[in-house]
Amino acid sequence: MSDNIQAIAIRICDLREISGMTQSQVAEASGVPLEDYVEYEKGERDFSFSHLFNIAKALGVDISDLLTGESPKLRGYVVTRSGQGLAFERRKAYHYQHLAYNFRDKKAEPFLVTVEYDGQTSGKTAHAHEGQEFDYLLEGRMLIELNGNPVYLGPGDSVYYDSSLPHAMYALDADARFIAVVIK
């Protein structure tokens, strides 16, 4: 696995130990099967965004703590210039750019997400996490499967949903870029 995945795995393990929680407790609290969680913590398995989000919540930290090893510090406001968000890739074909990673005590997590066009329109593993999500499509066309139901979006379209519903995104015809806001 990549150095980035190994670094995140070490942070998760360290934070779990500091919190006094067992692997079983974090796995259960984050909705991850224990066997998968153990592989995450060893750096043997890549994380989906949903799992990282849920693990961060279970450990009582911001997702930025897991991604960067640093706690958010800014209050009041934060400006993120074009192309300057915290870039990370969690799964093949999904590219995230966190747009407010350094803001303390966020009530929402805003991302610029690119879903690569790969010709698929089914078969991806759907993921779920606590909270709600708002997605606004900027470019391309996209299919979002929400709890098995297809939702098609074009530029300017948006969808707001309970993110505990399993969801997966597919770019149609070309890469799709959208703003995703995950509300805790």
Superfamily of domain 3-68: lambda repressor-like DNA-binding domains (1.10.260.40)
pTM: 0.79
Whether 2 shows a pLDDT value over 80: the answer reads no
Residue 127: band (very low, low, confident or very high) from pLDDT cuts 50, 70, 90: confident
Q: Average pLDDT of 119-125?
A: 88
Structure tokens at 98: 């966190």
pLDDT digits (tens, 9 = 90+) for 38-68: 998 998 888 777 788 889 999 999 988 998 8
Residue 1 pLDDT: 55
CATH 1.10.260.40 segments of the chain: 3-68
CB 177 within 8 A of CB 140: yes
Residue 79 pLDDT: 93
Residue 98 pLDDT: 92
pLDDT digits (tens, 9 = 90+) for 132-147: 999 999 999 999 999 9
Residue 27: band (very low, low, confident or very high) from pLDDT cuts 50, 70, 90: very high
Q: Average pLDDT of 22-42?
A: 92
CATH architecture for segment(s) 86-183: Sandwich (2.60)
pLDDT digits (tens, 9 = 90+) for 70-115: 888 888 999 999 989 988 765 667 888 999 999 998 999 999 999 9
Q: Average pLDDT of 150-154?
A: 98
CATH 2.60.120.10 segments of the chain: 86-183
Residue 46 pLDDT: 80
